[in-house]
Chain A
């Protein structure tokens, strides 16, 4: 079974490039060039140097001892929260800004939900001195004032998406419309493993540094490079794909993706895409998405803005459909409790997104000695207001 992209841009039934003709030349240019650019030795040197000296990689693989005692297995945390800007998002934006430079682009656009990808994009644009425009839903701009301020301080222009539901999916639509209007000088840095081919594959490759390092670190710490389980949260699915990437071919490693159930899968306020969604096309690729019987995209809900997306990347849809990955979901309440638990057991305040993956540990049965890696995709500073409200801090 092939779990990676084929020469047509598909993962089994999913993927492709469902884009209007206006975007075809931009996406085609990228498709023809991305692999050669990524494989270029000079590119790799620059990419690795920035990840090391600027982002602070490799991120530690930390054996969480008190958590391990509680769950009766060796629980390792892959500390993406310690990256510059506080999450895994920067791995991708570093890769894409270097790629944009190789393509000769002068202007960068991006979409953002909570603002994490927007901040990561504005950061690399400041680093390389490129113009940056970030589209963000009008509703999200009001909810995420500190990240809006960060982006502005970094020199980005933040444009409110006022169409549709005025959240992440609409910000993505606006970024695509900008790209239609600026086909020559602009590169669109998509923040997750979504969008038309080659984006899902390209972003997965940039994020694959997570599992690449994990394998080496496990070897050093346990004498075995393969764990029994890897867990990660999934919105669009970029940290999960990075965490899974180098383990996908080893079928002995169980891949567990945790979606946001919101207030409950049946509550009408959920983002559990594989449970509630159906196959269809969203933002340029065929995947699984939450939609009405008539094919209109449904607005998701999650307490964590990073998981609040009505679709998943096409490679995730393929891992789900083939059974290679287990796709589960965790409610807002369970995630917040797991965030508090990690804080009090290990002294680490996780992003609520990452707390979804941690919460799933409660539902698992381990054998003694099982090695389990959880991707701690981001830190919880940005979520303090939500934690404060929920726990009356």
Chain B
């Protein structure tokens, strides 16, 4: 059992997860940010490895990805930075990025490295379920990695059931039909959708992301799920000149 699975075994309420882009604002901030987030109360983290063409992302994460690439971030460099991860950070870590970067690194080499440095799972939004099952699942399992699937308001019930069967950590519930960084309106249709999923009694815990930006949206999402993921709002608030202070201040609002 990896750290992520252990976490969900112990706790399935009010989990707070933060996404940030590795290599942003500076190339070597990756572990400092993770350490600071753990101190400030994050329950688990998604560390984004940047890609030149992130179609599922809105302007903020596009910009942080571009800056990270301009800073020289690559997957080999990220794994090098994560060498000391488990000396400094205890909470579960997921890597999040697009499939082409993983393909070029080599799927098996990628999974092996993840296990070596202590990464617990991955979110690869453009890796289709069919390809995952046919080509990747056995490798992911061999190295103890959890693959996280996304579900959207348009995902059919049949497909959600299948995703539930394939999941071994949690399901990432995308809050609305949008790219990352749009603001969640806690509308009737959004809460109806969250309720619909909650009523399905899935075996996997559900965490809500996309559009979660502050305490209000975090609390609203937490009512219907095990917790919520914040990405763009966090990335936008990082201050390169006051890294630790800006993280502490942002996280303070959730206490």
Contacts and interface: CB of A to CB of B under 8 A. Distances in A.
The answer to whether A and B come from one shared complex is yes
Contacts of A282: 53, 100
B145 interface: no
Nearest to B69: A296
Contacts of A289: 100
A223 interface: no
Interface string A48-86: 000000000000000000000000000000000000000
A22 B51 contact: no
A293 B58 CA distance: 25
B240 interface: no
A337 to B, nearest CB: 34
A295 interface: yes
Contacts of B179: 22, 177, 180-181
Contact of A25 (B58, B59, B125, B155): B155
Given A22-B56, A163-B62, A294 B131 contact: no
Contact of A295 (B54, B103, B131, B155): B103
B125 to A, nearest CB: 4
Given A20-B56, A296-B52, A297-B52, A25 B154 contact: yes
A23 to B, nearest CB: 8
Nearest to B76: A294
Contacts of B126: 18-20, 281, 284
Interface in B43-101: 51-56, 58-59, 62, 66, 69, 74-76, 98-101
B105 interface: yes
A18 to B, nearest CB: 5
Interface residues of A, number: 36
A16 B104 contact: no
A18 B56 contact: no
Interface residues of B, number: 41
Interface in A264-303: 278-284, 289, 291, 293-297
Interface of B: 51-56, 58-59, 62, 66, 69, 74-76, 98-105, 125-128, 130-131, 149-152, 154-156, 159, 174, 177-179, 182
Closest 8 CB pairs of A and B: A295-B104, A21-B150, A295-B101, A20-B125, A25-B154, A294-B74, A20-B56, A296-B52
Interface of A: 8, 16-22, 24-25, 163-164, 169-170, 173, 176-177, 180-184, 278-284, 289, 291, 293-297
18 contacts: A16-B130, A16-B131, A17-B128, A18-B99, A20-B150, A21-B151, A21-B152, A22-B154, A22-B174, A22-B179, A25-B156, A163-B66, A164-B62, A281-B100, A281-B126, A294-B105, A297-B52, A297-B100
